[in-house]
Structures are given as structure tokens and as C-alpha cells.
Amino acid sequence: MFKLNRMVKFTIFILFVFVLIMPNTIFAQKDISSIDKEIEFVTTIHDFGEIKYGGNGTYEFIFFNTGLESVIIKNVTSTCGCTVPAWKQKPITPGQKSSITVKYDTKRVGRFIKNTKVYTSISKTPYNLQIQGEVLPKGK
């Protein structure tokens, strides 16, 4: 009788857990506002390595609109004034390639890691782009 009682309790417990979990999975809905709407960057991090003082600190982040709707880059911000982003202000149609150029001031000697946030018409959270490297002292 004791074993049966434990077995019945275990079965009731499993059924209880099942009843708690099932409504969440049955009635869960996908966020259809984000389906087939996205951009994909070829890379989101660029390491310049060592750069000469006053050298080229510009990198072009290339991306594709892989969704089914046009995408608009609403804003691009950087973590400091030493990093300047540039982008096209027109909509990027499905399948189209575009880019965001990020320029770092290479008259600032030393190691750097700078982030740039990309705000679009399709995502609530921004995409993050990062450049890093080391500007060598003048004359090296």
C-alpha cells in the first residue's frame, strides 16, 4: 500500500507539472513583427592591429538586408567623439547590400576599443559594431 501511495503521489505531481507547463507552450505566439525582417553584417568587429600615427583609421562594415521589407538606418551613435560613423540615409530594399563607415581619430596614441550602435526601423535593440587597434606614437 505504501508503494502505491508513493506512485500515486508521483503521478499526480507529474500531471500537475504538465498542466502548469502546457498552457504556456500551447498559447505562446511568435512575435510576427520580427519575422523576415533583419539585416546581417559580414562582420561586426574589426581589429586594425597597429596603426601609424595619423594613418588610416577607417573601416566599412558591410551588411545585407536579408528580410522581406525595406530597412531604414535611423541613427548610428559612437561611444566618443574620436569615432565618427557615416551611413546612407535611404531605405535598404530586400536583398540589397549597404554599409556603415566608422572612422577613428588616429592622432590619439595608444590602444583603443570603440563601439558603435546601429538603430534600425526593424529592431528594438541596436546592432553593435566594434573597432579596435593600437595607434603607435609619432615616428614609429
pTM: 0.72
Residue 31: the pLDDT is 46
**To 5 degrees, how large is the angle CA 18–CA 24–CA 28?**
145
Amino acid at residue number 50: E
Q: How is residue 81 written as a grid cell?
A: 567623439
Task: Write down the pLDDT at residue 107.
Answer: 94
Residue pLDDT, tens place only, 120-139: 998 889 999 999 999 999 88
Q: Which residue has the cell 595619423?
A: 54
Distance CA 106, CA 57 (A): 6
Could you tell me what percent of the chain has a pLDDT over 90? Answer: 65
The CATH H-level superfamily of 33-135 is: Immunoglobulins (2.60.40.10)
Q: Determine how β-strand 58-65 pairs with β-strand 39-41.
A: antiparallel
Domain extent listing, the chain: 2-30, 33-135
Residue 126 has a pLDDT of 94
3-state secondary structure (DSSP) of residue 34: helix
In the structure grid, which three cell numbers stand for residue 117, read together? 550602435
Cβ 79 vs Cβ 112: under 8 Å: no
Query: Please, which residues bridge with residue 40 across strands?
Result: 64
